[in-house]
Structure 1
């Protein structure tokens, strides 16, 4: 099937994207509306393949949908300064570095927790259970998630 007349299934296969994801990207405005056949079937052209590849690559790099929307807007106006694109990428890099720092702290804490294994003894002496029951046994709060809800 020529690239200028891809069905949604062919577009999905061509780009390694699920059909539902393509529809979702259309619904939220990341993808332009497809052409329609006489039978009202969605038909996609090369620009859709390129756009979807941009979105997929951005998602693979961890960019959120709002950032992708803004980056696509910038890509659609190539005469603009790339300063804003640099700012978006720098902000995302900082988020990634912050996440890496938290993950390294988590890794350290888990290794520390497992370094004192109870050798399959009783749960009463289990280091894993003790650490999980009392956060004060941890070396750092860096791995503490702010998404956990506490009961007051």
Structure 2
């Protein structure tokens, strides 16, 4: 195991312990069910187990293993991250629905090559379905733009 891998795994163990200690100060369970500390404790345990397993396993990665994906896949990943940033910037200004449609019109051709008609239909349909799911089924208030949508 390389020294930086050893350091990351030890840091993961320490972070897991810290998360568990801090989360144990919160309510873990109450009459209504899991409290505010339940999920962080689970995450801390998961972090400790995975870091510990990596320490115990201690295998070297093969010489052919790469940290970054091939260039085309990396560009798609960057495009998705940029599209999410665009969505976050546009949403308060023009509302969720127009921002989601615009973002998907940019994102879909970058990820999957389809005709523009199929891209437009999918962008509108997915955005309307997501909006309906959050606004009506889950009763979550989504940003509205100047047009009221």
TM-score range, shorter chain: under 0.3
Give the number of the structure whose alpha-carbon radius of gyration is greater: 1
TM-score, structure 2 normalization:
0.23
1 or 2 for the larger relative contact order (CA 8 Å, sep ≥6)? 2
